[in-house]
Structure 1
Amino acid sequence: MNSAVNIKYISFLSVVAALGGFLFGYDTAVISGTIAQVSAQFSLDAMSQGWYVGCALIGSIFGVMCAGILSDNFGRKKTLLVAAILFSISAVGCALSSDFNHLVMARVVGGIGIGVVSIISPLYISEISVAEYRGRLVSLYQLAVTVGFLGAYLVNYALLNYSTNGAEQLSDPALYHIFHSEVWRSMLGMAVIPALLFFVIIFFIPESPRWLILKNRDVKAGSILKHIYGSVETAAYEMNETKKVIGSETKSNWRILLKPGIRKAVVIGVAIAMLGQFMGVNAVLYYGPSIFESSGLSGDDSLFYQVIVGLVNVLTTILAIFIIDKIGRKKLVYYGVSGMIVSLLLIAFYFVKGGDLGISNVLLLIFFLAYIFFCAVSICAVIWVLLSEMYPIKVRGLAMSIAGFSLWIGTYLIGQLTPWLLQNLRPEGTFILFAVMCVPYILIVWKLVPETTGKSLEEIEKFWET
């Protein structure tokens, strides 16, 4: 049935949608290279610094809440266009902001865009994919997010170097201001380039055929499905199958979430989604340069170290995509989280004894890279796979939205609290706390989460119902 599938066309559509993930990653990680400069310019204390980082996450929470409503009413494609516009406005607004409040407002607008693409980009990829390739194609989104992280680190590093080795000779006052005296503006503003590219290229992709079928626009949906599947017969078959699924979904309601087994699954999903944010990964992604500088590194060296962290994150995510179905979800969590605990304790040890023992900063980088490796190959790769498999088909979207909302709440809290933790618990205490938070996560997965590798969704659903 899938012999004539147009995989090149599907791949193109998936890559375009995954560009939203790149913007997500860039807009999230670019903040790491600007914290010290913005804090100095606007005289921010620890809580204000946390607000500078966390304000975009408030926007993300709002974006997650609005994404489903927008896409259901106006379509996936138009909602992605809205996200591209929001990213563009945010980038320009950050570069030209006149004071701290304007900067925060611009970051909130970008955060709304992050929240929207975090839901709609993978949703669009899923709806245009064929079953045979859906897993790896949806994984492109996760990969794009990590590439966005790396892109932000590279841009931050390059612009900081340019600001001290060439930008001081710029004659135009505005360019001198943006690229030299307040280089953080160019770091945040560079997001406008991929945002505009995303906006333009979206016009070259069709609307999701599933959404078109929901809106009874069968002729247009059929044309897109024919392009995807390569034949009228297969397109008609897929449309009929979609109509059957839609028919069953319309009979469902949120009360299914209150069934004892399903309620337990939802609570477990919320727990692992939120706990995962308190195990340190976003603290490293957001505040990595600040943490490296606290170890005695210069600003240039700290950003270079962050580039290496981003590169390892990308390469490990690629590895995870290939092994997650072979090793299994739970084993990856066991191995990965155990490695995270050891790495976090070694990082804490460095901050306690590294100076007294004369240990090189390179060893700190190695500990961070080990932590990122174990994190990217386990919880970062597993969380959305587990959440997409845990819930019955009739409430999968609603249950995942609840877990996703919890994840963003946890992300906001860790972004807001990390400066306070670093100041009051010091780096060593902060990383010990992250290590402690790994323990309940691994216990929940061990005792309460079933191994879903190799099982059908129906088998998993029966597990929770019984």
Structure 2
Amino acid sequence: MNNKVNVLRLTLVVALGGLLFGYDTAVISGATEALQSYFQLTPAELGFAASSALIGCVLGAIVAGDFSSRYGRRGALKIAALLFLISAVGSAIPESYWTFVVYRIIGGIGVGIASMVSPMYIAEVAPPKKRGGLVACNQFAIIFGMLVVYFVNYGIALIGTETWLNTTGWRYMFASEVIPAGLFLLLLFTVPETPRWLAMRGRNDEAYSLLKALNNGNGADVDHQWRDIQSSFKQHNSTSIVASGFFGVLVIGIMLSVLQQVTGINVFLYYAPTILKGFSNSSIDIALLQTILVGAVNLGFTVVAILTVDKFGRRPLMMLGAALMAVSMIAIGTAAYLNAIGGYLLIFVLLYIGAFALSLGPVVWVLLSEIFPNSIRSKALSIAVFAQWAANFVVSQTFPMMNDPQSSVYQTFNGGFPFWLYGVMGIFTIYFIYKWVPETKGKSLEELEELWEKSAKSAEEKMITNH
């Protein structure tokens, strides 16, 4: 083991899992018309081709906890990288619609695993004072992956004619994922396991040596951290979430995951062209507008979050962001209800995207990666991420129904209802964070366990006193 291990390098390697998360999710955006033409798809079949990866994401979240406990954080990421590779090749060569769907589901499983394990790995190797910013790098990588694939798809589309794109070009779009997936798999062989997983498996000498290397040989600090890690596993050796006494923490994690989604982010990520077209009669290419403006704002404010989350803390960023998101959604809903639609609403869309990128986007992942105790982290994080993908699915499926001009909800509220609903969820998010989510900046993962224990004991004492 080297005397020093560069934590930033480990973060950048593991964040490639986040980049592939974004890449795999968005790659189909440039191929939908070609797929419909090549496979002669009905609208329902096209919709399933686009959303089938989401099934894989849910499955990936379910197995990620077991994989990361059994094979290690690095081992689980290697499995995800291999699945990305298989999906990239398989999605590029099928001659039947259902073969294509199967390979998209395989890629989705990789996304589900990477979405959980990448931030967990980073949290387990990062120094406490830098953990928030380093974990937030994974969110930056997700957005960057989406932007990269938009331009890759655009470049491939320019190579040939529309006929070529519909018969052959779309295959290159999916095959292009082989490059980042192959690079991710190779680079994973250059990173170590996390010290906390090694300690969990009883490999204490390796764990201590790695912890020392990660902390640049700061002996006193390492000894303190090492004692806390060992104490954590001795005190909480149960892998049952209920038996461990941290079920309440799991509920908070699930709520954070769900609130990240039900405040409406994927409505703009998935349906932005439709929404923006409704705001303005401008002749500007709406798809390009979405890529440049929404993508740039998303990326830019994620950088702001990376630079500030360890300085200002998790709670202030989350509450400020949720407030701005709520204001934006309520303004958009009110404009729709009053039929005061216009290009000016793009300002509120961008304000919403920027607020999300500053807060619920990266910071929820930071909190999920750090709030769970060592002994149950894999299992609890897997459940929370499963809830996130399930909420993503519900929001993505219900928005088109609420936004259908033929629906009674749309006709009653003139299209404003879903935006009001997401705005109310934003207000509830502020209350939930204020009431239930403690500040975690600057604390080690083991110190956070003690914080939860004290909170639980305090709650029990209040209940006994009240009764």
- C-alpha contact 1:88 1:196 (8 A) present in aligned 2: yes
Of 274-283 and 387-396, deviating more is 387-396
Q: Residue 193 of structure 2: SS of its match in structure 1?
A: coil
Post-superposition offset of 1:268: 3.9
Looking at structure 2, the residues matched to 277 and 385 of structure 1 have their Cα atoms a distance apart, in angstroms, of 16
- C-alpha contact 2:314 2:439 (8 A) present in aligned 1: yes
Looking at structure 1, the residues matched to 66 and 307 of structure 2 have their Cα atoms a distance apart, in angstroms, of 34
Which one of 259, 265, 270 corresponds to residue 281 of structure 1?
265
Looking at structure 1, the residues matched to 321 and 129 of structure 2 have their Cα atoms a distance apart, in angstroms, of 28
Looking at structure 1, the residues matched to 84 and 203 of structure 2 have their Cα atoms a distance apart, in angstroms, of 30
Looking at structure 1, the residues matched to 143 and 288 of structure 2 have their Cα atoms a distance apart, in angstroms, of 16
- C-alpha contact 1:344 1:431 (8 A) present in aligned 2: yes
- Residue 105 in structure 1 maps to residue 91 in structure 2: no
Is there any run of 5+ residues in structure 2 with no aligned partner, and where?
Answer: 459-467
- Residue 191 in structure 1 maps to residue 177 in structure 2: yes
Of 15-24 and 437-446, deviating more is 437-446
- Residue 168 in structure 1 maps to residue 161 in structure 2: yes
Looking at structure 2, the residues matched to 389 and 24 of structure 1 have their Cα atoms a distance apart, in angstroms, of 20
Counterpart amino acid of residue 208 in structure 1:
T
State the match for 1:91 in structure 2: 88
Post-superposition offset of 1:212: 3.6
Looking at structure 1, the residues matched to 385 and 149 of structure 2 have their Cα atoms a distance apart, in angstroms, of 24
Post-superposition offset of 1:83: 0.9
State the match for 1:208 in structure 2: 194
State the match for 1:135 in structure 2: 132
Looking at structure 2, the residues matched to 38 and 353 of structure 1 have their Cα atoms a distance apart, in angstroms, of 39
Looking at structure 1, the residues matched to 242 and 160 of structure 2 have their Cα atoms a distance apart, in angstroms, of 60
State the match for 1:399 in structure 2: 380
RMSD: 3.6
Looking at structure 2, the residues matched to 75 and 394 of structure 1 have their Cα atoms a distance apart, in angstroms, of 13
Looking at structure 1, the residues matched to 284 and 382 of structure 2 have their Cα atoms a distance apart, in angstroms, of 39
Looking at structure 1, the residues matched to 168 and 370 of structure 2 have their Cα atoms a distance apart, in angstroms, of 46
State the match for 2:67 in structure 1: 70
- C-alpha contact 1:289 1:303 (8 A) present in aligned 2: no
Aligned pairs for 1:247-266 within 5 A: 247-251=234-238, 253-256=240-243, 262-266=246-250
1:141-191 deviations in Å (ceiling 9; x for gaps): 22212222222333344444x1xxx4129xxxxxx74x4656544433322
Looking at structure 1, the residues matched to 105 and 437 of structure 2 have their Cα atoms a distance apart, in angstroms, of 35
Which one of 272, 277, 293 corresponds to residue 256 of structure 2?
272
Looking at structure 2, the residues matched to 17 and 303 of structure 1 have their Cα atoms a distance apart, in angstroms, of 30
Post-superposition offset of 1:370: 1.3
TM-score with structure 1 length normalisation?
Answer: 0.81
- C-alpha contact 2:13 2:187 (8 A) present in aligned 1: yes
Post-superposition offset of 1:61: 1.6
Post-superposition offset of 1:366: 2.9
Post-superposition offset of 1:414: 2.4
Which one of 7, 12, 30 corresponds to residue 10 of structure 1?
7
Q: Residue 194 of structure 1: SS of its match in structure 2?
A: helix
Counterpart amino acid of residue 191 in structure 1:
E
Post-superposition offset of 1:140: 2.0
Looking at structure 2, the residues matched to 450 and 232 of structure 1 have their Cα atoms a distance apart, in angstroms, of 29
State the match for 1:302 in structure 2: 287
TM-score with structure 2 length normalisation?
Answer: 0.81
State the match for 1:343 in structure 2: 328
State the match for 2:465 in structure 1: none
Of 120-129 and 342-351, deviating more is 342-351
Counterpart amino acid of residue 233 in structure 2:
I
State the match for 2:356 in structure 1: 375
Post-superposition offset of 1:284: 1.6
Looking at structure 2, the residues matched to 107 and 190 of structure 1 have their Cα atoms a distance apart, in angstroms, of 14
State the match for 2:393 in structure 1: 412
Distance 1:254 1:230, change over 3 A: closer
Looking at structure 2, the residues matched to 364 and 463 of structure 1 have their Cα atoms a distance apart, in angstroms, of 43
Counterpart amino acid of residue 95 in structure 1:
A
Looking at structure 1, the residues matched to 127 and 437 of structure 2 have their Cα atoms a distance apart, in angstroms, of 28
State the match for 1:61 in structure 2: 58
- C-alpha contact 2:37 2:166 (8 A) present in aligned 1: no
Looking at structure 2, the residues matched to 445 and 319 of structure 1 have their Cα atoms a distance apart, in angstroms, of 20
Looking at structure 1, the residues matched to 402 and 31 of structure 2 have their Cα atoms a distance apart, in angstroms, of 19
Looking at structure 2, the residues matched to 197 and 73 of structure 1 have their Cα atoms a distance apart, in angstroms, of 24
Structure 1 vs Structure 2: percent identity of aligned residues? 36
Is there any run of 5+ residues in structure 1 with no aligned partner, and where?
Answer: 170-175
- C-alpha contact 1:32 1:288 (8 A) present in aligned 2: no
1:13-62 deviations in Å (ceiling 9; x for gaps): 221111111111222233444445545664443x5555334321221121
- C-alpha contact 1:33 1:303 (8 A) present in aligned 2: no
Of 100-109 and 213-222, deviating more is 213-222
State the match for 1:173 in structure 2: none
Distance 1:217 1:391, change over 3 A: closer
Looking at structure 1, the residues matched to 126 and 374 of structure 2 have their Cα atoms a distance apart, in angstroms, of 18
Post-superposition offset of 1:118: 1.6
State the match for 2:462 in structure 1: none
Q: Residue 205 of structure 1: SS of its match in structure 2?
A: coil
How many matched pairs?
Answer: 443
Distance 1:71 1:381, change over 3 A: closer
Looking at structure 1, the residues matched to 289 and 155 of structure 2 have their Cα atoms a distance apart, in angstroms, of 9
State the match for 2:113 in structure 1: 116
Distance 1:365 1:463, change over 3 A: same
Looking at structure 2, the residues matched to 412 and 61 of structure 1 have their Cα atoms a distance apart, in angstroms, of 9
Distance 1:389 1:88, change over 3 A: closer
Of 105-114 and 278-287, deviating more is 278-287
Looking at structure 1, the residues matched to 373 and 209 of structure 2 have their Cα atoms a distance apart, in angstroms, of 31
Of 68-77 and 419-428, deviating more is 419-428
Distance 1:80 1:331, change over 3 A: closer
Counterpart amino acid of residue 457 in structure 2:
E
Looking at structure 1, the residues matched to 61 and 388 of structure 2 have their Cα atoms a distance apart, in angstroms, of 11
Of 328-337 and 18-27, deviating more is 328-337
Of 30-39 and 99-108, deviating more is 30-39
Q: Residue 204 of structure 1: SS of its match in structure 2?
A: coil
- Residue 464 in structure 1 maps to residue 451 in structure 2: no
